A and B are shown apart, each in its own frame.
Chain A
């Protein structure tokens, strides 16, 4: 992409630099998008990759996690890096655009400098540029899923608006996870009647006969190379999301079956074997150790912005962040069925520095049109950053829990530890669209119910064992559920079922025998409760609350104390 003299001035203005200053070019180099978009092509195959768009068609702010805590065995490994640890691991300099995109550090300040991230019209410009450079026949564009769900426009159109955007982007192949929460009939309808991409998955089967629901793989000719792409949808879809959406379908990682398909595509003459996956970055690192013969894994689900690939047993593993912030590009040189060279880059989709594709921009405006008036309504203001990503606590979730607590008149609120949402800066208006970006799910009801202290402890322990399991295969890839009304201490490396201690309910010790009044959304916790009452949808409750209080200012401090680590993203062994 060429940078004009005018754009250079524009850049400098954004960065608050004077072009007459002595070190201006050095400074510009730090943030120069030209350099960020520089790529030396390799070989004759280009794989483009996005994951976890979460229905964000327009640019947004998205702050990466400030803590990302894991079991000791996984500390300091890609998938559990954030902030300074992340920058050190990948050699990123502070205050650069890379630092802004990849970490939470100085986020507010850098947001003013570099602006919003993502947006399909901006992704499209990059894709066009790459295709023009390389030639259409050398490029295959893949999407690891969690694409249709996450915003109002995704929810209101039951995924269709996002499918249209995918078609406009030119996605060739995809897999899924949250897609399934539109229900299996809708999923099949969108795939069969609207989606131009091929939807594949080797790990979704009929639970009676074991017959596969989707094509397990597809073989494409790319730049004269036979590229086989095998799909894995999110293995724990019926566990992490309500089972009724996929009644009669069974998932799982299915490494044995995956191995069978790898061998099968090889015998059909595939030169390169790609796994397009929604397993999660850490799970895919484990899969690469268990399954032989996969050349490339395009991962997703855990939202990691990993600037460099991980190589395990000759398998190249990459992941492309979330929310449309990045476009992943992996160039391959393939000779005699072997990858002889490769190059990888995560292009930051920095909307201030990319000219949006006119056609896709018009499409997005059209898709928003029926809802624009409703969604752009300002309902309040925030004094602090409202963010989502953190292991235990997040400010936007706190606002939602405050709203639920008022509505439900309960002692305790549970809020899911999803990794999608949006970020608002201090002083920002809160719109209806923003609230949906945190809550747009097909099962939005808040439930009020009763639970004993023992049940509450067991549920928290159960969730902690999913999040902090030392074996990646047993992790579901979310963050810890957030709580309001409950404070606790946790030993991440404690025995399963014995990690939590000093649990307080509104300041008093949790009484195992007492019954507590609890409210929760986004999970299936209420199924274990008594006297269950269905309240309103979480987005309605949250919007009414914000309208009422007008200004929100949630505390910045977490209600959970970690006992065995001194910081959020330890380098090794829990010491910073």
Chain B
């Protein structure tokens, strides 16, 4: 991706990101050390999003993530739902072994033009990254990819 298309896609995502801004950029990091946020396991986060509705695998959800992370602290991911924007309500990113598995939720309006996000997430260890698309009709579809976090060392 060149700088121009990067700027274009971040512009798409920004509208969604502001909603989750307080989660992404904690204002007081020291407070978090003393009072760590509660652990949120995968099943709990999933239920929070889907309210128990089924989630089916779909090739309409395109999730791009590295096979092996170069740095677990900043793993680049992109997720896109290949459906008209009117049909997509949100993209939720879950990381099934992080302390808090609910990593990111981006909500769209038709003004976003395209259901596409690109960001970096932290992975504490080797785990699955799951992109769940919440559709306007209330159904859920997903794609997932295992990402390995390794110390590396052979060549």
Least CB distance, B41 to chain A, in whole angstroms: 20
Residues of B contacting A467 with CB < 8 Å?
154
Residues of A contacting B68 with CB < 8 Å?
235-236, 239, 474, 476
Residues of B contacting A515 with CB < 8 Å?
none
Q: Is the CB of B150 within 8 A of A210?
A: no
Interface residue ranges of A422-467 to B (CB < 8 Å): 459, 462-463, 465-467
Tell me which of B1-9, B98-106, B107-115, B129-137 binds A: B1-9
Q: Is the CB of A418 within 8 A of B155?
A: yes
Residues of A contacting B1 with CB < 8 Å?
209-211
Question: How far, in whole Å, are A239 and B6 apart by their CA atoms in the complex?
Answer: 25
Question: How far, in whole Å, are A256 and B77 apart by their CA atoms in the complex?
Answer: 12
Write the A513-529 contact mask toward B (1 if CB under 8 angstroms, else 0).
00000000011110110
Q: Do A250 and B155 form a contact, CB below 8 Å, given A210-B1, A239-B70? A: no
Least CB distance, B31 to chain A, in whole angstroms: 29
Chain B residue nearest to A416 (CB atoms) is B154
Q: Is the CB of A251 within 8 A of B70?
A: yes
Q: Is the CB of A211 within 8 A of B154?
A: no
Least CB distance, A526 to chain B, in whole angstroms: 10
Question: How far, in whole Å, are A241 and B153 apart by their CA atoms in the complex?
Answer: 6
A478 within 8 A of B: yes
Write the A215-242 contact mask toward B (1 if CB under 8 angstroms, else 0).
0000000000000000000011011110
Q: Is the CB of B155 within 8 A of A478?
A: yes
Q: Is the CB of A256 within 8 A of B155?
A: no
Q: How many residues of B contact A (CB 8 A)?
A: 21
Question: How far, in whole Å, are A318 and B152 apart by their CA atoms in the complex?
Answer: 27
Least CB distance, A281 to chain B, in whole angstroms: 16
Write the A390-422 contact mask toward B (1 if CB under 8 angstroms, else 0).
000000000000000000000000001110000
A12 within 8 A of B: no
Residues of A contacting B152 with CB < 8 Å?
236, 239-240, 466, 476, 523-524
Q: Is the CB of B151 within 8 A of A525?
A: yes
Q: Is the CB of A524 within 8 A of B155?
A: no
Residues of B contacting A522 with CB < 8 Å?
153, 155
A331 within 8 A of B: no
Interface size class of A (residues with CB under 8 A): 35 or more
Q: Is the CB of B151 within 8 A of A211?
A: no
Q: Is the CB of A239 within 8 A of B64?
A: no
Interface residue ranges of B135-155 to A (CB < 8 Å): 146, 148, 150-155
Least CB distance, A534 to chain B, in whole angstroms: 17
Q: Is the CB of A478 within 8 A of B154?
A: yes
B20 within 8 A of A: no
Residue picked from B64, B66, B126, most chain A C-beta under 10 Å: B66
Q: Is the CB of B3 within 8 A of A528?
A: no
A253 within 8 A of B: yes
Question: How far, in whole Å, are A522 and B152 apart by their CA atoms in the complex?
Answer: 11
Residues of A contacting B67 with CB < 8 Å?
235, 252-253, 473-474
Residues of A contacting B2 with CB < 8 Å?
209-211
Q: Is the CB of B70 within 8 A of A240?
A: no
Question: How far, in whole Å, are A480 and B148 apart by their CA atoms in the complex?
Answer: 18
Write the A137-179 contact mask toward B (1 if CB under 8 angstroms, else 0).
0000000000000000000000000000000000000000110
A479 within 8 A of B: yes
Chain A residue nearest to B7 (CB atoms) is A209
Residues of B contacting A496 with CB < 8 Å?
126
Q: Is the CB of B153 within 8 A of A481?
A: yes
Residues of A contacting B64 with CB < 8 Å?
256
A491 within 8 A of B: no
Question: How far, in whole Å, are A128 and B61 apart by their CA atoms in the complex?
Answer: 52
Chain A residue nearest to B66 (CB atoms) is A252
Question: How far, in whole Å, are A243 and B155 apart by their CA atoms in the complex?
Answer: 13
Q: Do A528 and B151 form a contact, CB below 8 Å, given A209-B2, A474-B67, A476-B68? A: yes
Question: How far, in whole Å, are A211 and B64 apart by their CA atoms in the complex?
Answer: 17
Residues of B contacting A253 with CB < 8 Å?
66-67
Q: Is the CB of B151 within 8 A of A462?
A: yes
Q: Is the CB of B155 within 8 A of A240?
A: yes
Chain A residue nearest to B151 (CB atoms) is A462
Write the A185-216 contact mask toward B (1 if CB under 8 angstroms, else 0).
00000000000000000000001011100000
Least CB distance, B67 to chain A, in whole angstroms: 5
Interface residue ranges of A474-491 to B (CB < 8 Å): 474, 476-481
Residues of A contacting B66 with CB < 8 Å?
252-253
Candidates B3, B62, B126, B146; contact of A211 at CB < 8 Å: B3
Q: Is the CB of B76 within 8 A of A474?
A: no
Chain A residue nearest to B3 (CB atoms) is A209
Interface residue ranges of B74-127 to A (CB < 8 Å): 76, 126
Residues of A contacting B151 with CB < 8 Å?
459, 462, 524-525, 527-528
Q: Is the CB of B154 within 8 A of A238?
A: no
Least CB distance, A413 to chain B, in whole angstroms: 14
Q: Is the CB of A250 within 8 A of B76?
A: yes
Question: How far, in whole Å, are A525 and B155 apart by their CA atoms in the complex?
Answer: 13
Question: How far, in whole Å, are A209 and B6 apart by their CA atoms in the complex?
Answer: 7
Candidates B70, B146, B148; contact of A250 at CB < 8 Å: B70
Residues of A contacting B150 with CB < 8 Å?
239, 462, 465-466
Chain A residue nearest to B5 (CB atoms) is A210
Q: Do A416 and B153 form a contact, CB below 8 Å, given A211-B2, A238-B70, A252-B67? A: yes
Q: Is the CB of B154 within 8 A of A417?
A: yes
13 A-B pairs within 8 Å (CB atoms) are namely A210-B3, A210-B6, A251-B70, A252-B66, A253-B66, A253-B67, A256-B64, A466-B154, A474-B146, A474-B148, A476-B155, A478-B154, A527-B151
Q: Which 8 A-B pairs have the closest CB atoms?
A: A478-B154, A523-B153, A239-B152, A210-B1, A240-B155, A473-B67, A252-B66, A238-B70
5 extra interface residue pairs, beta carbon distance < 8 Å, beyond A209-B6, A459-B151, A474-B148 = A178-B155, A209-B1, A209-B2, A240-B152, A524-B152
